[in-house]
Structure 1
Amino acid sequence: MAPVIEFNNVSKRFILHRDRRDTIQERVAGLLSRRPPGEEFWATRNVSFSIEEGQSLGLVGHNGAGKSTILKLMTRILEPTSGTVRTRGRIAALLELGSGFHPELSGRENVFLYGSLMGLGREQMEARMAEIIAFADIGDFIDTAIKHYSSGMYTRLAFAVATAVDPDILITDEVLAVGDEAFQRKCMERIYSFRRAGKTIIFVSHALEVVRSLCDVAVWLDHGEMRASGAAGEVIDAYLANVNRQEEERLAAERQANPSQAEYNPFRHGSREVEITNVQLLDAAGMEQATFHSHQSLTIRVHYHAHQPIQGPVFGVGIYTENGIWLTGPNTGFDQFQIGRIEGSGSIDYTIPNLPLLTGHYRISAAVVDSSQLHTYDHHDRIYSLVVHSDNARERYGIFSIPGAWH
């Protein structure tokens, strides 16, 4: 079967004019003078991908990467400057707050208006009205002009209507982020029901774990260009690795530009006879990774430099949740791992053969102390980031994957 959505070398150009003409006098004067040519801005360049019927596609990338432009090209709000966009089937889109509704009309009147735009008659929308009102949970406000709605009420009604018209393709942008927790759960339940029904879903969110669990495939956009496409998990891992790499480069540049500030770090302390020079997170093959999966092997490699001979140092690591809960803190002293004397540069590994953590962002500390564990040579407190995905684990809730059996 032909794809339901197909992009073929699609580029979209905008012209940005820097000379603003705000007053009437400026606009009249502008009619008499030639406006200087504007600056070209390419929101997307040569983007190509296709979506099969029943697939769920996630668009990921930084703010301004071109995700919203891609959605507007899908819905024909925008036309491409070059390339072709082909779609097949009825599309319901939630792109931004305020689109698709008339502010002077009541919620009920806007329901009928939206239905007519989707090719549904008044009787068909009337039959869906009770379900729409119940899902939106706006009660008597359904007969109030929507210009008086809060952003949450507006979003609830928009989502309820868009999903009630039985679209073949459902497109959602970050607009759902304005809803409260209960409404977001209702929305995700309905989106998952659409997926089970074989509908095509286009999903944009910075909540990458939701994209990973909901979407079959993903496209990573970076400054309007497609960096990767394919299986959702692989694309998200590549995107996260790039984000982590850019963050490390930014911090390194800041330290180089301000060496005096680099020496002071509120999350680092110690006398520095031994310094921790780097911490790496390695997989079973010894390759450095930005993200890991539950039950995967994780090695925390601590690189050090001893400026003088040190007898019997103790190295330790700590793993914390992102909000600061200390999960574990092993060290070589507790495990009676004798190191002896160190001098110069070296490294020490702590390996977790079966990582029990579930999906989340975690922080890692590394420290080296003397043999009594009372004097700190160097302590990096929660400086390093660990991202864990649990798509290969049975559990989905909590922090740990703990072995167990039902009887």
Structure 2
Amino acid sequence: MSVSASDAALISLSGIGKSYPIANSAAGRIRTLYALLRRRPFAERYDALTDINLEVRPGESLGLIGVNGAGKSTLLKVIAGVVKPTSGEIKLRGRISALLELGAGFHPEYTGRQNVFLATALMGMSEQETRAQLDGILAFADIGEHVDQPIKHYSSGMIVRLGFAVATAVRPDILITDEVLAVGDESFQRKCIAWMENYLSSGGTLLLCAHSMFHIQKLCQKAAWIHDGRVRAYGDAHRVTREYLAWHDARNAPKVQSHAQALKSGVYALLSMLLNDQSGQEGAILPMGASLRVSGRVFSPDDRAPTVLVGIVRKDGMPIYGVSSEMDGHVLVRVAPNEFAYDFEIPELSLLPGEYTLKGHALDPEAYRLFDEITADLTVLGESREMGVCRLPHRWNAI
């Protein structure tokens, strides 16, 4: 997947690839060394990145998402200049500040205070400039008396605090962060988010790698889903994160059983299922708050009115809501010998934007035994940073 680049971009990646040699034996290590000396491709290699094409313009915020091992951290290291790409071209403009691996750029034997001077010097600040901002840096880090202790004794959270505090002082053109918000405590996360929002509102450019879709949606305009070292999706942050979460849920979902056997065996079975008068096989795409109607016919082997259950689940199978005709005291209408019609409606769908599965079930009249199941995809469109799966009526009261 390609994204157009221009001279105005602060970060421009074209065909970036990164490969690592696989050498599990002495002979393999010799072949690897030979390839390095001759500048030839590795005979056996692992491709961490393949044909990455991205750009980040001034004032933009881009989130990188994907499962562990997808290549996100490798891509950030390439952009930060920590790792040299195997192929492709990278163009960078402006001063970059990168918060990657914990403790990167810090000396373990130095105190926190000494490491502040070391880190700012590496970023191009003079000692005088650092001293002028030292109080602000230490106040943001808020690690107390530990600032004069060697950082080899620091917790991971304290190291992140110090590293982010240095970044706030440098105020770079481009800030690159890798899972910074996953390490600090809640109060520090709030402080970081507030700083990032202010940084972005004043024209800063952010490249954020995170597993929290909430943080990606809150802070990023765009998102890139990295999968197996490639860009699988790129664009609006809400759309890309929704696609990623749907894929993630579907990967963990149980396999759907076919209802064909139920039809052949002559038990209670759904003959059809329509979503807003369209075939359930096509699924349904609705805006948040729209009306959802599920209708169709169900077969009854003994010509008694069967029970129909309609349910909505996440892609990973977690139930969200389900109700049957028997629960509501509704009796299906007979429309033909051994056939009954059902018509179920949710006037205002409260589901948050995302991908879901709608399920229809045929049960006996007593609703004791489930005989059949039909499933259909349900996509809810919209933009929301609310958490969970549904929107509940609520209000904020003035005190």
TM-score normalised by structure 2 residue count: 0.76
Show the counterpart of 1:206. 211
Query: Is it true that 1:74 corresponds to 2:66 in the alignment?
Result: no
Distance 2:350 2:294 in 1: 15
How far off is 1:344 after superposition? 9.1
Query: Does 1:400 pair with 2:371?
Result: no
Distance apart, 1:314 and its partner CA: 2.2
Task: Give, in whole Å, the separation in 2 of the partners of 1:401 and 1:112.
Answer: 50
**Per-residue deviation, 1:309:** 3.7
Matched residue SS, 1:308: coil
2 CA distance for matches of 1:176 and 1:405? 28
Q: Once the 2 structures are TM-superposed, how far is the Cα of residue 236 of structure 1 from its aligned partner?
A: 2.5
Once structures 1 and 2 are overlaid, which stretch shifts more, 356-365 or 222-231?
356-365
- Cα distance between partner residues in 2 of 1:99 and 1:134: 21
Summarize the Cα distance change of 1:332–1:94 in structure 2 as closer, same or farther, 3 Å threshold. same
Given that 1:43 and 1:66 are in contact with CA atoms closer than 8 Å, whether structure 2 keeps it comes out as: yes
Q: Does 2:325 align with 1:332? A: yes
Matched with 2:288 is 294
Deviation at 1:170, TM superposition (A): 1.0
Alignment of 1:142-157 (within 5 A): 142-157=147-162
Instruction: Give the letter aligned to residue 9 of structure 1.
Output: G
Return the alpha-carbon distance in structure 1 between the equivalents of residues 116 and 219 of structure 2: 28
Distance 1:406 1:97, change over 3 A: closer
Q: In the alignment, which residue of structure 2 is the partner of 1:18?
A: 24
Matched, 1:6 2:12: yes
State the AA in 1 paired with 2:301. Q
RMSD: 4.5
* Equivalent residue for 1:53, pick from 58, 71, 76: 58
Partner of 2:91: 86
Matches within 5 A, 1:175-324: 175-248=180-253, 251=255, 273-274=267-268, 287-288=282-283, 294-298=288-292, 308-309=301-302, 311-318=304-311
Distance 1:293 1:108, change over 3 A: farther
C-alpha distance in 2, partners of 1:135/1:157? 8
Q: Is the 8 A contact 2:56 2:62 kept in 1?
A: yes
Deviations 1:304-340 (A, max 9, x none): 9868345222223456899x99975543241736243
Query: Which deviations, in whole Å up to 9, do the C-alpha atoms of 1:60-113 show, x marking residues without a partner?
Result: 222222111111111011111111111111111111212121111000111111
Letter in 2 for 1:12: K
Match of 2:138 in 1: 133
Amino acid in the other structure paired with 1:332: S
CA distance in 1, matches of 2:277, 2:49: 35
Per-residue deviation, residues 101-134 of structure 1 (Å, max 9, x unmatched): 1111000111111100111112222222222222
Q: Distance in 1 between matches of 2:146 and 2:395?
A: 50
- Is 2:19–2:45's contact at 8 Å kept on the other side of the alignment? yes
Cα distance in 2 between the residues matched to 1:234 and 1:164 = 33
* Distance across 2 between alignment mates of 1:388 and 1:115: 47
Distance 1:94 1:342 in 2: 68
Q: Are positions 1:113 and 2:121 aligned together?
A: no
Alpha-carbon spacing, 1:162–1:298, altered in 2? closer, same or farther (3 Å)? farther
User: Quick one: distance in 2 between partners of 1:344 and 1:194?
Assistant: 67
Deviation per residue, 1:194-249 (Å, 9 max, x gap): 2212211111112223212321112222211222222222323333343345445x
Residue 354 in structure 1 maps to residue 348 in structure 2: yes
Alpha-carbon contact 1:284-1:299 (below 8 Å) kept: no
1:281 positional shift:
8.5
CA contact (8 A) 1:293 1:391 kept: no
Q: Which runs of 5+ in 2 are unaligned?
A: 1-6, 36-41, 259-265
Answer whether contact 1:356 1:402 (CA < 8 A) is retained. Answer: no
Whole-angstrom distance in 1 between the partners of 2:303 and 2:343? 18
Q: In the alignment, is the contact (CA less than 8 A) between 1:4 and 1:87 conserved in 2?
A: yes
Give 1:18's aligned amino acid. N
Distance 1:321 1:165 in 2: 43
Q: Any idea what SS the aligned residue of 2:13 has?
A: strand
If the length of structure 1 is used for normalisation, what is the TM-score? 0.74
2 CA distance for matches of 1:243 and 1:215? 20
* More divergent stretch after superposition (82-91 vs 339-348): 339-348
CA displacement at 1:351 relative to structure 2: 3.9
Q: Is the 8 A contact 1:310 1:341 kept in 2?
A: no
Unaligned runs of 5+ in 1: 22-26, 257-271
Counterpart AA for 2:283: E
